[in-house]
Amino acid sequence: MEFLEELQRRRTFGIISHPDAGKTTLTEKLLLFGGAIQEAGAVKSNKVKKGATSDFMEIERQRGISVATSVLAFIYKDKKINILDTPGHKDFAEDTFRTLTAVDSVIVVIDVAKGVETQTEKLVEVCRMRKIPIIVFINKLDREGKDAFDLLDEVEQKLGLRVTPLSFPIGMGYDFKGIYNIWDKKLNLFSADNKQTVSEGIEFSNLEDPELDTIVGEDAANTLREEIELVSEVYPKFDLTEYQNGSLQPVFFGSALNNFGVKELLDCFTEIAPTPQPKMSEERLIDSKEEKLTGFVFKIHANMDPKHRDRLAFVKIVSGTFKRNAPYLHVRNNKKMKFSSPNAFFAEKKEIVEESFPGDIVGLHDTGNFKIGDTLTEGEIINFKGIPSFSPEHFRYVNNADPMKSKQLQKGLDQLMDEGVAQLFTLEINNRKVIGTVGALQYEVIQYRLEHEYGAKCTYENLPMHKVCWVQPEDAKNAEYKEFRRVKQRYLAHDKHNQLVFFADSSFTIQMTQSKYPTVKLHFTSEFE
């Protein structure tokens, strides 16, 4: 198949939402419809032996939440679909923010009863900033929840989106009869016993047809007619260009747990979602149609297979064809590298691929060469922007609980920090190690993974700090900078890449420091110009 044809077949998207809105369940059902799995697993169920395909880490299975982005790929209607299922929990938002640099579109999942929640607002804001096309999926319609129009208003107001419903519910909760698919002009009837199967839609191009009254009942039919008329008057018509440039967002209703409305979402998505998009690098705009390979690392995952202690770097291909065993330039290290076993993903299952195309995510075995944000090219010096490390908000000293295992602890911390799970700082004054995270739950994950994957135990001590700032002096030799270093000595540390950081105990301290030492700049992310 020609390169451009392969490019047209690719759809790479992320699924984002607040925890518990049903993101991982939706991912499971998309895989089920894509024919990629035979039976969907449950996220929270001890009775069912099968867990969710995308929650493959042991701690995810115990907690019933996703703590790391997982990558899944399948073929549907001759389209190659790459899904990135992201963690919803705010403590793992950094992983999600980075993943959003690797997708061409997103599906936002909203719980019908809870409506728009805080984490969804933050994530959608990032998507809007980057003009990523968004489809909204309102989930759990088999439960009692908010009125459909109220929900649409809430999505518009809280998320700042301009929506157009492409399907509409008939009733809700106990009265939930089904969905009218505006996009396909089909009626899908709901029955609670079709959890593992798929109901076929009935063609309905004319809602005035009296047959509708016999199928759903007169009251429900009249309500549906009124509501659809209202939808066509109030909301803009769907426009492909507006959707793809991020200024119009289609909305679907359904119940992922009951397989309902998911197929409609997938059918429409494969039709309208954008193919791999150009990406801005610091040097120039890289078009996905370019023949030469470019790609960047957006995630590193250690121990995907605990038996082999392997580390994988996830590379999103931006342009060109990635070929097995071909030499590529690792831009930051300025050295050529070959990869004999590049992997394609299906959650934790991997298979070796001969070639991959723009939009694909490739896993490369890594012995410590990569860090997040690294670029691979065929020789051109290119650096992709926008994969920052955020300033952590929780800090704890990390202590070795088993002196016999200090090497394992060091290795474990090194590898987990490379993944971007958290950040490690070493204090200048006494060389003590401090772990900084965006959310407190991450300490538990680190402790668990250190013990189970590296055989090392650690304990924590609290360090009451407000923020960490990266330090950038205008001139490292001037007296003001030397004075800053002398006065603030107790609060200075180095991050993993040896950049100097300053621990501030309050926002007032940051303001005072900036006004006292104007030539010393403080930054909240590790990437600054």
What is the per-residue pLDDT across 411-443, written as a single tens digit (0 to 9) for each? 888 877 777 778 889 999 898 999 988 777 778
The pLDDT score that the predictor gives to residue 136 is 92
Q: State mean pLDDT over 228-254.
A: 89
Does 69 have pLDDT greater than 80? no
Tokens of 523: 């930054």
Tokens of 290: 């370019």
Q: Are 52 and 25 in contact (CB under 8 A)?
A: yes
Q: Are 324 and 355 in contact (CB under 8 A)?
A: yes
Can you name the residues that pair with 348 across neighbouring β-strands? 346
First-to-last CA distance in the chain?
A: 42
Alpha-carbon Rg for the chain, nearest whole angstrom, is 25
Residue 314 to residues 24, 102, 234, 269, Cα–Cα distance (Å): 20, 10, 43, 24
Q: State mean pLDDT over 300-319.
A: 73
Residue 525 to residues 20, 392, 434, 522, 528, Cα–Cα distance (Å): 29, 9, 17, 9, 7
Q: Are 215 and 189 in contact (CB under 8 A)?
A: yes
**Side chain identity at 264, as an amino acid letter?**
E
pLDDT tens per residue, range 257-290: 877 888 888 888 888 888 888 888 888 888 888 8
Q: How many CA atoms lie within 13 A of 370 on its CB side?
A: 30
**In this predicted structure, which of 90-94, 322-326, 469-473 has the lowest mean pLDDT?**
90-94
Q: Which CATH architecture has domain 394-523?
A: 2-Layer Sandwich (3.30)
Q: Which CATH architecture has domain 3-272?
A: 3-Layer(aba) Sandwich (3.40)
Q: Are 302 and 453 in contact (CB under 8 A)?
A: yes
**Side chain identity at 143, as an amino acid letter?**
R
The pLDDT score that the predictor gives to residue 529 is 41
Does 126 have pLDDT greater than 80? no
Q: State mean pLDDT over 23-33.
A: 75
Q: Which CATH superfamily is domain 279-377 in?
A: P-loop containing nucleotide triphosphate hydrolases (3.40.50.300)
Lookup result for tokens 């009296």 = 210
pLDDT tens per residue, range 443-469: 888 888 888 878 889 899 998 888 888
**Side chain identity at 21, as an amino acid letter?**
A
Dihedral pair phi/psi, residue 400, rounded to 5°: -80, 120
**Residues 6 or more apart whose Cβ sits within 8 Å of residue 413:** 398, 424, 433, 435, 450
Pairing of strands 500-504, 433-437: unpaired
* Domain definitions of the chain by residue range: 3-272, 279-377, 394-523
Lookup result for tokens 């394609």 = 344
**Fold matches, 3-272 and 394-523:** no
Distance CA 497, CA 494 (A): 8
**Residues 6 or more apart whose Cβ sits within 8 Å of residue 361:** 12, 71, 73, 82, 84, 102, 314, 315, 316, 317, 344, 345
Distance CA 529, CA 527 (A): 7
The pLDDT score that the predictor gives to residue 250 is 92
Q: Are 102 and 387 in contact (CB under 8 A)?
A: no
- The alpha carbon torsion through 284, 287, 293, 298 (nearest 10 deg) reads 80
Tokens of 466: 């407000």
Q: Are 285 and 337 in contact (CB under 8 A)?
A: no
